[in-house]
Structure 1
Amino acid sequence: MLSISSRAQVAADTGAIARLGGPLLINNLALTGMSFTDTVMAGQLGARDLAGLAIGAAWYNLFLFIGLGVLMAISPSVAHAYGAAETQPVTRFARQSWWLALALSMLLMLGMWQASWALPAVNIASEILPVAIGYAEAISWGLPAMMGFLSLRFTSEGLGHTRPIMYIAVGALIFNVFGNWVFMYGKLGMPELGAVGCGVASAIAMWLMLIAMLAYMRRHRTYRPFNIFQRIDRPDSQVIGQLLRLGVPIAGSILAEGGLFVAAALLMGSMGAITTGAHQIALNFAAFMFMVPLSISSATTIHVGHTLGRGEIAHARKAGFIGIGMCALVMTISAVGIVLWNDPIASLYTNDPAVHSLAATLLLAAAVFQVSDGVQVGAAGALRGFKDTGVPMALCWFSYWAVGFSLAYVLGVRKAMGPIFVWIGLIAGLTVCAVLLVLRYRRTTRLALQSVAGGR
């Protein structure tokens, strides 16, 4: 049994993660809510628009994952410095992240603009290509703003200040719904763009998010001791190198998982509009629920980073396990909910009987991998808190591609067993990854403790 002091520590760590993760949860739900409203509103236009949005969004996410992962290195870097009460490193990481965001913006936009030849090359159904390409080109103009916003967001997260991120994301969601109405349906004198209008509205929302976050951080007293905006420093290869060494493997891990889901969407795209639309519905709802453990994972990274910055390695190890357990618990609840209400959930998205029926079936498959998905993201967040990203990236690539994609492609496409078997591949990849990352966390933290004990 846990002693009173141990129970108190568990409660304190759980509370700290929850306080950090609460605003991040609202932020993540709001950002996913933008995708949710895009999907629901496009679904009302028919299977063609819904499928085109699914493919265009998958292409966009492929590039977003790269930028997101690289810039996520800011959060643990700032958290370690802040936990150690070191002001100057926080300032350096924040300022140098701007240059990193700028470089990523240019590279990612160039990649996004290749949709016009890349999507036809992977045999996406011709009926949905115009919508998919139009959406991808429209939303690409928001990428520079999103990269800038993420550099500021992860700086603020590293300082443990997550509340403004929540407010800005909620505001972006509200605007996105309004923008969809304007650009999808041609209101207020705008052209009627259909699902492509979702991309236009999202791009504008991203610029508003950047402006709001910049204005908040320049004015709020929390950031004043760090003088982040006092000047723009020249690029510092040493600091940028530190961020890249940590961030590139994070991006690789996210790209491994995100790329698997993008690949699954592309495999579905070759099966026609109904299958693609149903897959988008199941995946969109699963992604919506995934925002809960994702926020806990980010909060775990911050809390573990702060604790390590104070030199409390044993405490940090326990805090990481608590974060993983919290992620597993919420996704167990999510799985039960999906099993009980898969049919009503599908009804929220579409009134097309064929799409609805297949989506309800695929939602049951989504319920199966909920716990594994929660455990793997929790373990990944705890590992980032310890700045362990290289080996976890390799484990992710093995799990998602050697196991997950291989099964999805062979069963779903080569053997033509249908979309449910593509999802079986996703389930297998996530489960293997969850096991491997937890084992990696146990090993990494045990070695960290032994290193400290050996140095005494």
Structure 2
Amino acid sequence: MGAVDIAMAGHFNAHALGAVAVGANVWMLGVVATVGVMMALSPSVAQLDGAGRQAEVGALFRQALWLAAGMALLVAWGARHSASLLALLGVEPALVVDAQAFLHALSWGAPGLCGYFALRGLCEGSSWARPTMVFGLFGLAVLVPLDWIFIYGKFGMPAFGAEGAGIANAIALWLQFAAFGIYLLRSRRFAPLRLFTRWDGPDWRALRELLWIGVPMAVTFLMEAGLFIVSGLLISRMGVVAIDGHQVAINVSSLVFMVPLGLALAVTVRTGFAAGRSDVHGVRWAAGTGVALTLVTQTVSASLLLSLAGPIARLYTDVAPVVALAAQLLLFAGAFQIVDGIQAVSNGALRGLKDTRVPMLITAFAYWGVGMPVGAWLAFVRCQGPAGMWVGMIAGLSVAALLLFSRLWVQLRSGGWRRFAAAGGLDRIARR
């Protein structure tokens, strides 16, 4: 959705584009945190499903809705009080005003965003990802005309500019959540789960255990996203060509990363399902197959990036200095494809086993204890520019891949994952 907002705002005027781009980066921090926390539902549902306890999923899902409500309040509050953060980062005062207007309007969509991720976790944990794809595309489809109406001022509406993008997103998020919820309410597949047949109050023990799983995942995602965001901010100090070349390369690598990310989500569900059945062979098979498939797909991705770096860069721009830098950075992107895939899928398998706290510490060390210091040292002390920051990212991802895969290997060999499969308070609430 962010790409649509930026494209639509860019055709309105440059100021609106800048405000939306700045606001979207702040909003993305809330989205990443929400994804991590709400992802606790997916392995929990998968383990109940694997244990043959599907009838208990409904009560667990209703607790996840309470968790979504709490996250919505936090995300909305953060979006509405981000002006001081933007000013601290040195954003131009005029941009701060419009970025804050964008975020204030968008904050009304926080409940829809968080509710959507609760529904998504339920579907993915039940090994049914198609609704997530369908309603994700639905949200994108309704956003385009809404952006056109509110940014440009159509059908009698005033031209809100950047604020209009926030209004459009808030409406789209609510429509996406409502459509997804109505679909599940009417779905025969989920009818036996009795998702909406009763109203449960918050159970603090169950919510605490969901947070025990979800908060480390949120921190893990923020550690990784933060590495790339801060790297981009540091590179932006090197000039327009540097940030433009970096943006091209990071966009391409983010697009390619969708493949191992999808595999990681699938591995989370399959390992969780096998863990719920206490199926040692199934857990090993799901994790091992995921890693093997990732090696294949990432080898292909690396080969394409290494051999087609120049042509890919020219798809984005014809400015020669930017193309040259982007092509150079795409070679680095090709170099880290395999380790990036291995860290993603290893982390996905560990999430399926509800092992999230040690991976959180691993990623914090790898990205901020290794990746960022190495990148900053090479870029600014050794004067290697953007290439130095990218070498730092490679170092961080490589350490993360090595340590996360080692953690997964130890868990699979020792059977230590069994202690994470015990749901504790989640069992108690699921039986209500």
TM-score, length-normalised on structure 2?
0.87
**Structure 1 alignment gaps of length 5 or more:** 1-33
**Aligned mates of 1:180, 1:360 — CA distance in 2:** 33
Deviates more, 1:436-445 or 1:364-373: 364-373
Is the contact made by 1:44 and 1:350 (CA closer than 8 Å) also made in structure 2? no
Residue 246 of structure 2 corresponds to residue 279 of structure 1: yes
Whichever residue aligns with residue 285 of structure 1, its letter is V
Equivalent residue number for residue 228 of structure 1:
195
**Aligned mates of 1:251, 1:389 — CA distance in 2:** 10
Equivalent residue number for residue 135 of structure 2:
168
1:48 offset after TM fit, Å? 6.6
**Aligned mates of 1:66, 1:322 — CA distance in 2:** 28
1:429 offset after TM fit, Å? 0.9
Deviates more, 1:110-119 or 1:171-180: 171-180
Aligned counterpart for 1:92 among listed residues 29, 53, 59:
59
**Aligned mates of 1:45, 1:349 — CA distance in 2:** 20
TM-score, length-normalised on structure 1?
0.83
| SS state at 1:82 partner | helix
1:254 offset after TM fit, Å? 1.0
1:438 offset after TM fit, Å? 0.4
**Aligned mates of 2:326, 2:158 — CA distance in 1:** 31
Whichever residue aligns with residue 163 of structure 1, its letter is R
Equivalent residue number for residue 249 of structure 1:
216
Equivalent residue number for residue 311 of structure 1:
278
1:447 offset after TM fit, Å? 1.4
Equivalent residue number for residue 388 of structure 2:
421
Is the contact made by 1:48 and 1:273 (CA closer than 8 Å) also made in structure 2? no
Whichever residue aligns with residue 303 of structure 1, its letter is R
Residues 1:401 and 1:88: Cα distance change in structure 2 (over 3 Å): same
Aligned counterpart for 1:217 among listed residues 165, 181, 184:
184
Deviates more, 1:353-362 or 1:240-249: 353-362
Equivalent residue number for residue 27 of structure 1:
none
1:36 offset after TM fit, Å? 3.9
Residue 112 of structure 2 corresponds to residue 119 of structure 1: no
**Aligned mates of 1:148, 1:86 — CA distance in 2:** 24
**Aligned mates of 1:414, 1:123 — CA distance in 2:** 23
1:418 offset after TM fit, Å? 2.2
Is the contact made by 1:54 and 1:265 (CA closer than 8 Å) also made in structure 2? no
Whichever residue aligns with residue 290 of structure 1, its letter is F
Is the contact made by 1:54 and 1:276 (CA closer than 8 Å) also made in structure 2? no
1:364 offset after TM fit, Å? 3.2
Whichever residue aligns with residue 266 of structure 2, its letter is A
1:352 offset after TM fit, Å? 5.8
CA deviation map 1:143-189 (0-9, x unaligned): 22110100111011111122111111112222233334444444444
**Aligned mates of 1:49, 1:101 — CA distance in 2:** 31
What is the 5 A alignment of 1:62-141? 62-124=29-91, 129=96, 132-141=99-108
Residues 1:200 and 1:272: Cα distance change in structure 2 (over 3 Å): farther
Aligned counterpart for 1:155 among listed residues 122, 139, 146:
122
**Aligned mates of 2:334, 2:251 — CA distance in 1:** 13
Aligned counterpart for 2:294 among listed residues 309, 324, 327:
327
Equivalent residue number for residue 294 of structure 1:
261
| SS state at 1:397 partner | helix
Is the contact made by 1:51 and 1:128 (CA closer than 8 Å) also made in structure 2? yes
1:46 offset after TM fit, Å? 8.1
Residue 157 of structure 2 corresponds to residue 178 of structure 1: no
1:301 offset after TM fit, Å? 0.9
Residue 262 of structure 2 corresponds to residue 268 of structure 1: no
1:42 offset after TM fit, Å? 5.5
Whichever residue aligns with residue 347 of structure 2, its letter is A
Equivalent residue number for residue 14 of structure 1:
none
Deviates more, 1:433-442 or 1:36-45: 36-45
| SS state at 1:231 partner | coil
**Aligned mates of 1:110, 1:282 — CA distance in 2:** 33
Is the contact made by 1:76 and 1:305 (CA closer than 8 Å) also made in structure 2? yes
Whichever residue aligns with residue 349 of structure 2, its letter is A
Is the contact made by 1:40 and 1:350 (CA closer than 8 Å) also made in structure 2? no
Residue 233 of structure 2 corresponds to residue 259 of structure 1: no
Q: Percent identity?
A: 38
Residues 1:413 and 1:51: Cα distance change in structure 2 (over 3 Å): farther
**Aligned mates of 2:322, 2:11 — CA distance in 1:** 12
| SS state at 2:196 partner | coil
1:280 offset after TM fit, Å? 3.2
**Aligned mates of 2:307, 2:417 — CA distance in 1:** 46
Is the contact made by 1:61 and 1:258 (CA closer than 8 Å) also made in structure 2? no
Residues 1:204 and 1:285: Cα distance change in structure 2 (over 3 Å): farther
Equivalent residue number for residue 429 of structure 2:
none
Residues 1:347 and 1:232: Cα distance change in structure 2 (over 3 Å): farther
Whichever residue aligns with residue 371 of structure 2, its letter is G
1:38 offset after TM fit, Å? 4.2
**Structure 2 alignment gaps of length 5 or more:** 420-432
Is the contact made by 2:353 and 2:417 (CA closer than 8 Å) also made in structure 1? no
**Aligned mates of 1:281, 1:45 — CA distance in 2:** 22
Equivalent residue number for residue 10 of structure 1:
none
1:206 offset after TM fit, Å? 1.6
**Aligned mates of 1:189, 1:398 — CA distance in 2:** 53
**Aligned mates of 1:332, 1:113 — CA distance in 2:** 43
CA deviation map 1:109-133 (0-9, x unaligned): 2122232111221234668655654
What is the 5 A alignment of 1:18-57? 34-40=1-7, 52-57=19-24
Is the contact made by 2:359 and 2:404 (CA closer than 8 Å) also made in structure 1? yes
Is the contact made by 2:366 and 2:400 (CA closer than 8 Å) also made in structure 1? yes
Deviates more, 1:240-249 or 1:130-139: 130-139
| SS state at 2:405 partner | helix
Deviates more, 1:306-315 or 1:193-202: 193-202
1:246 offset after TM fit, Å? 0.9
Is the contact made by 1:105 and 1:147 (CA closer than 8 Å) also made in structure 2? yes
**Aligned mates of 1:415, 1:45 — CA distance in 2:** 41
Residues 1:431 and 1:74: Cα distance change in structure 2 (over 3 Å): same
Equivalent residue number for residue 172 of structure 2:
205
